[in-house]
Amino acid sequence: MKRVSLSLIVIVFTCSCLAQNTSDAIPENEIGISIGFGSQVMNDGSYTDLRHYAERQLGWEEGGTPHFFNIGLSLGVEYYRQISNPIALGVTAGYAVANCSYEEKNVNAFDDNSVDLTSIYVMPTVRWTWFRYNKVRLYSRGCLGVRWQNVKISSHEHDGLDKNETKLAYHLGAAGAELGHKNAHVFFEVGYGMCGVVNMGFHFAF
C-alpha cells in the first residue's frame, strides 16, 4: 500500500512539474510586425461609395457596377498577452492603402481615372492557439475595431471626390502558422479583413 501511495505521489509530482514547465515555456508577451495583401480597405462601404459616384458622376445606370482594378496593401503591428495556454488577448494596428483605376461608361481606358484610399486602423484582438508542438504553432484570430479612412477619386472629365470617413474595421485570421524558436518566429496567415487575405511577418516573445 505504501508503495502504491508513493508511486501516486511521484506521478502527481511529475505531472505537476511537467505542467509547470509547459506553462513557463510560453512567454507572456508578444509583439509582431506584418505585411498583408488584399486588404479590406477597398471593400464594404468604400466600394459602395465608388459605385454611387459612378452612377452620379460618370453616367452609369443606377445599380450598374463600374469595373475597378484594385491593389490593397496593409502594414501592421501586433501585441499579445497570453492569458492561458491557448488564448491570448491583444491589439492589432496598422496602415492600409489601396489604389485602383476605373473605366468610365463607353470609355475603355483606365489611364486618367484613379481611386486612392488610405486607412489607419486599431482593432482589439483575440488569438486561439489550437495546435502547438515544439517549434510549430497553428492558430486562428479575430479582430474588431475602427478605421479612419480617406477616399480620393480623380477623373479627367468629371469632378473628383475627396472624403474622410470613420468605418468599422475587422479581420478574421482563419488559419495561421508560426515556426521558429521560443522567442522569435515567422508566421504566415490566410484570412479576410484589414490585414489582408495573405498576411506574413515576424513575432518576438518575451
For 113, the grid coordinates are 481615372
Cell, residue 166: 470613420
Q: Answer whether residue 169 shows pLDDT above 70.
A: yes
Residue 58 confidence (pLDDT): 54
C-alpha cell at 203: 513575432
Question: Residue 140, class by beta-carbon neighbours within 10 Å (0-12 exposed, 13-18 middle, 19+ buried)?
Answer: middle
What is the pLDDT confidence band of residue 18, given thresholds at 50, 70 and 90? very low
What pLDDT digit, counting tens, does each position of 102-149 carry?
555 544 444 456 677 889 999 999 999 999 888 899 999 999 999 998
Query: Is the pLDDT reported for residue 64 higher than 80?
Result: no
Over residues 75-99, the pLDDT tens digits come to: 999 999 999 989 999 999 999 988 7
Weakest mean pLDDT among 65-74, 82-91, 173-182: 65-74
28-205 maps to CATH 2.40.160.20: yes
Rg (CA), the chain: 24
Model confidence band, residue 47 (pLDDT cutoffs 50, 70, 90)? low
58-84: average pLDDT: 70
Which three three-digit cell numbers place residue 206? 518575451
Question: What ranges do the domains of the chain cover?
Answer: 28-205
C-alpha span between 2 and 8 (Å, rounded): 10
